[in-house]
Structure 1
Amino acid sequence: MFASLIQFIREQYRTNDFIPLHAPVFSGRERDYVLETIESTFVSSVGAFVERFESDMAGYTGSQKAVATVNGTAALHTALMLAGVQSGDLVITQALTFVATCNAIAYCGAQPVFIDVDRHTLGLSPLALEKWLEEMARKDDDGTCRLKSTGQVVRACVPMHTFGHPVELDSLVAVCARWGIALVEDAAESLGSFYKGRHTGVFGRVGVLSFNGNKIITTGGGGMILADEDLGRRAKHLTTTAKQPHPYEYVHDEVGYNYRLPNLNAALGCAQLEQLEDFIAAKRKLASAYSTALQGSDLRFFTEPDNCRSNYWLNAVICEDSKARDRLLKETNEGGVMTRPIWQLMNHLSMYGGCLRGDLTNSEWLAERIVNLPSSVISELPD
């Protein structure tokens, strides 16, 4: 049934071998920079490439500060602490996300609340968020948002830019502002994606990026916190074991975290970042090829929302129903072409099954139909 799609993918990648979902590309100065760190002996958390990577990332995204971390989950955990999330708080997010989003909330001792997504963005719906808040929450005289039934503080909202497609940021910013809720952007998948000309991750109080091995650029494992100057300094302090500057003494003034990105990884990141726009151009060209090839088929290719430039980190198709999704997954994987379903909804996982949630109609509909197609960067697509 999907033989023509498999053949099309093989033609794009020019191989009859196994085709992965998303493989890293090292075609720049990665080797030179990594060797430079080895020769300097500064391979751990202190080194010139860490500062350079942070500076370059701040410049690219337009964030005042960027603080590198060992992975994206550590970045999000730190970001939630910067936003004031405390044990017992509620943090609104989407059920249609990767588990790390909810795990970072749990690390704070807080509980996720699951709100539906929009079908045209795959991300948190501002209308669904407002509806849930109006029904379930109240705002105290001091501006604190609380759950009506228990008095728990609704502290933050964490939308995730699914597969690199920006959510409706203007509306989410407005809803969070009206209710006194901190907006923390999970931009782990959206490096290089822009909403109305501004990079994702800089609209809320804090934003985070990920550089895992399967992301659009990689440091092997790594993340980044995007924040203003004050929160950036606070992030650096928390992620470097809360150590106070001193010529030789070890002075730590609070519980901190060893979330620092090693210089070795940052060197890889600097070389990857130099190629980011080329990677995005190639991925957008591949997305266009998929979109054209699938016209008139039973598969609907998911395209970027209006007024956005998506990085198309993972290309996605929407199948007619769950049976068609399962057939597509079976035939492609048996044919040596890796495809994957979207994640299980977070409220279906045992540890988050009892969490509060709104109506999740769109999330359920999408979870039954979405399949990711191979999305690795191709330097030159066939004509």
Structure 2
Amino acid sequence: MALSWVAADARTGKVLAEMPDLSCERVGVVLGAYTSAAASLPVPTAPEGWARATLPGGAFLVLLDDDEPSWGGLVTRRTRTLGDTVDLSLATIEAYLDRRYVRDRTFTGASQTQIVRLLVEEFATDFPIEVEVAPSVVTRDRAYANESDKTLLSVLTELSGVEDGPEFTVRWAWRHDPERLVPVLHVADRIGSPVPPDLGPAATFEAPGPVVQLELVEDYGAGKGATDVMAVSSGSVGERPQSPRQIAAQSERPPFEFRFTPSTSITEVSTLTSHAAEALALMADGARTLSLAAVIDQAPRLGRDWWIGDDIGYRVGDVWTERVGLFPGGGAFPGPATFPAQPEDVEKYNIPAFPGGLMGVARCIGWEIDLTGVPTVAPILEMED
């Protein structure tokens, strides 16, 4: 595995320069949102034309893995001092969509993934983004107005936030004739692949093994967990559009209420109800996130074995001694057909914080690559009961 950086023109995607001495500690991706990164460039060894190749708002910096693009960000800020290093701030392309505004546009009975495609193609012009959508049978009615001053990212986030709404993420790709690097917005009812029935996941992360760091967070704090959810819009008291209360059934917790405004322009109660139902589904059991980091050269290969949105396997500690159908911490049990053989030295797999081990399948909702020291890759896994 060889990691390298190149700079590309933000208007065309044309490669401007190779950046062999660019330093960046970590990069990452989150489903349906943007991430940022910090980088630095030593000027004495920088390529000719480095100033244009790091122009804020005018250049992409793209990380290549064996010449295949794995991450890219727009240069948003550049800081120069009396020293010989230039500091750079980067943001993924979703952040650029928050700098473009939606104008008057109405959709009636339109496929939700096509709504995303048409919005981006119409209102992110003069920018080298491509849109790839998967067919969807889910249709939506939407009306957008120029005077609402809503950005592309805000309306995509609102649409994604309704029950069974579309998902989106950005990947990078080479294009030819002429040679260039372009961001590709992928849109689907679900990004990534679930585990096929009766089969195990294509990628499994193991500890002990390639996994060198692991953290399971179970959070029922404010904004993370709720058993009683209501979605509201703007309006005066007594006239405010709001959803009926969505209440979790058979909760083991006392009532935790949560109210939120998915968008101030929503007037249909049915739309608000859809938002509330989606929020309850996510919050009823709180936020449960498993993050782990594995040595990148030993782990399942990002972009080949797995990607954001995929279901990924995990196995932590001794899962053999107290074998059960559902392991502590959640996650779907893969089934006898994919259960690993017990090793002879099973005692070395004992991890105190995970008695009985932790094993299952969870969805990857993001990832991070740490480029310091020995590079590691860290999928962020969303666990469901």
- Higher RCO (C-alpha under 8 Å, 6+ residues apart): 1
Asked if these proteins are the same fold (TM beyond 0.5), I'd say: no
CA radius of gyration, larger in: 2
- TM norm structure 2: 0.21
